[in-house]
């Protein structure tokens, strides 16, 4: 089994020293670097390059520079996607965004996790867990979403939150760790 196959299976895999994965990350980061250097007025080339970086996109997508990801091909973005400046997606596993997702500045989505055992960590081993964000979700600035988390549709995540566990549909959740503070339906 290759390291890439181990990663896809949710097993510990060699993320740091495997040549195939290392070369894929380098190629993706080169494309991200190119994207980040484009002028904002060059929307045609920005959109073309985003569609080359990201595995699956719809038509209406906007990511303000700077944008960084590990592989790109593990990212799926729905229609009407907007991410403000400094988006980081460590997409060792799938990161899927629904339609009408709005992301504030300085947000990060991390599918990579590392063993508690120092020997395994020092060998470059890690694991990856997918992240899913539903439709009509708004994430405030400086939100961090950790491996294996799902965020339900019609949900708002408050600025500065660290999302460590699944968040249901139709709620406002904030904090570190992020917790539900109210049901949006009750508010309306």
Where in the sequence numbering do the catalytic residues fall? 114
Task: Identify whether the C-beta of residue 92 lies closer than 8 Å to the C-beta of residue 73.
Answer: no
Helix residue spans in 96-155 (DSSP H): 118-122
Long-range contacts of 81-89 (CB under 8 A, 24+ apart): 81/57, 83/107, 84/141, 87/63
Question: Of 146, 148, 123, which is closest to residue 3 (Cα–Cα)?
Answer: 123
Neighbours of 165 (CB within 10 A): 12
Mind giving me the DSSP string for 57-108? E-S-EEEPSPEEES-STTEEE-SSEEE-SSEEEE-SS-EEE-SS-EE-TT-E
Written as six digits, the tokens of 171 are 């709620």
Q: How large is the C-alpha radius of gyration of the chain?
A: 17
């Amino acid at each position: 089994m290759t390291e890439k196959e181990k990663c896809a299976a949710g097993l510990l895999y060699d993320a740091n020293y495997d040549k195939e994965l290392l070369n894929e990350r380098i190629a993706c980061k080169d494309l991200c670097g190119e994207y980040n250097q484009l002028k904002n007025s060059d929307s045609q080339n920005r959109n073309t390059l985003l569609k080359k970086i990201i595995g699956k996109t719809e038509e209406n997508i906007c990511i303000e520079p700077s944008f960084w990801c590990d592989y790109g091909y593990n990212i799926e973005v729905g229609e009407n996607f907007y991410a403000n400046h400094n988006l980081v997606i460590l997409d060792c596993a799938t990161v899927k965004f629904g339609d009408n997702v709005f992301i504030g500045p300085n947000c990060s989505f991390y599918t990579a996790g590392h063993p508690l055992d120092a020997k395994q960590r020092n060998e470059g081993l890690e694991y990856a867990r997918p992240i899913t964000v539903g439709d009509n979700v708004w994430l405030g600035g400086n939100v961090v979403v950790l491996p294996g988390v799902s965020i339900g549709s019609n949900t708002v995540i408050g600025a500065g939150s660290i999302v460590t566990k699944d968040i249901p549909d139709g709620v406002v959740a904030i904090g570190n760790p992020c917790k539900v503070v109210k049901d949006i339906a009750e508010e309306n």
